[in-house]
Amino acid sequence: MSRLMAENLVRRFPGTVAVDRVSLSVAAGQALGLMGPNGAGKTTLLDLLSGSGRPDQGRVLLDGRDITRLPAYLRARLGVARTVQRPAWFASLTVLENVMLGTRARARLDGRAARRRALEELDEVGLLRLAHHPGGEASSAERKLGELARVAAMDPTVVLLDEPSAGHDHESLKVLVQSVRRWVAWGAAVLLVDHDRRLVEEVCPVVLRMREGRLVDGAEG
């Protein structure tokens, strides 16, 4: 059974159809790649799947449940994690506190348990040494690693990754690959959108193509 499913999603903006009758499914324990040129509708599709956007037509299902009208914060409580091209990172919080936002989005852990979970994930991505540093001191690559730790701290059922390779250096890209494989091993459904063909094909057995709002022929895998 598919963990995440999109059925005939349509999203219109004045003068354009950004997402045009897109249907796809991602099973538990699967990483699915999605590639296409700028303006193809990939980020808009992720908006519809994550709840930060609402489709004009179609449905989004999570483990068979219709979540089309659920806002993003309620989908997060169900384990739907989303990254964006520029991490939602707060300079005034410590690195640890930035990661703890993930534990609170999903599990509603108490302060001590949330702190312990966040520290575990910071250690996993190699940022434990920065746990108590201000978030504003973290480099671009470190912020991207912190975002991976925050996603993992949610114990996600679904992970939606929007251009995750941007901002990573060579070493932190390895951690990104390890993180995707780890989430898949947990049984999460992962949808990876990126322009880095080598990265996408390394972690995704199947890669779909999108152009002008539609999935096009030529899926690989």
Q: Convert the pLDDT of each residue in 58-93 to its tens digit.
A: 999 999 999 999 999 999 999 999 998 777 889 999
Burial group, residue 148, by CB count within 10 angstroms (0-12, 13-18, 19+): buried
The Cα 51–Cα 147 span in angstroms is 19
Per DSSP, helices labelled H in 69-169 are 72-77, 95-106, 111-124, 140-153
Q: What is the pLDDT of residue 86?
A: 78
> Once rounded to an integer, what is the mean pLDDT over residues 150-159?
94
- Which band of pLDDT confidence, cut at 50, 70 and 90, is reported for residue 199? very high
> Once rounded to an integer, what is the mean pLDDT over residues 183-197?
96
With tokens 């324990």, the residue in question is 29
Return the percentage of the chain with pLDDT > 70, whole number.
96
List, in order, residues 6 or more apart from 196 with CB less than 8 Å away: 165
Q: What is the pLDDT of residue 219?
A: 53
Q: What is the pLDDT of residue 85?
A: 79
**DSSP for residue 51:** T
Q: What is the pLDDT of residue 108?
A: 66
Distance set, CA 21 to CA 16, 17, 208, 210 (Å) = 13, 10, 15, 12
The whole-model pTM stands at 0.93
Q: Between 112 and 35, whose confidence is greater?
A: 35
Q: Which residues pair with 4 in a beta bridge?
A: 26, 62
Phi and psi at 218, nearest 5°, equal 115, 20
Return the percentage of the chain with pLDDT > 90, whole number.
83
> Once rounded to an integer, what is the mean pLDDT over residues 24-48?
97
Average pLDDT across the chain, whole number: 93
> Once rounded to an integer, what is the mean pLDDT over residues 46-63?
97
Q: What is the pLDDT of residue 94?
A: 97
The Cα 208–Cα 71 span in angstroms is 26
CB 102 within 8 A of CB 148: no
What end-to-end distance do the CA atoms of the chain give, in Å?
A: 20
Q: What is the pLDDT of residue 45?
A: 98
Domains of the chain: 2-220 (3.40.50.300)
Based on C-alpha coordinates, what's the Rg of the chain?
Answer: 17
Q: What is the pLDDT of residue 109?
A: 66
pLDDT at 220 over 70: no
Handedness of CA 164, 182, 100, 79 (dihedral sign): positive
Count Cα neighbours of 143 within 13 Å in the Cβ-side half-sphere. Answer: 19
Q: What is the pLDDT of residue 218?
A: 54
The Cα 83–Cα 163 span in angstroms is 8
> Once rounded to an integer, what is the mean pLDDT over residues 40-47?
97
| pLDDT tens profile 88-134 | 889 999 999 999 988 877 666 677 888 999 999 999 999 999 999 99
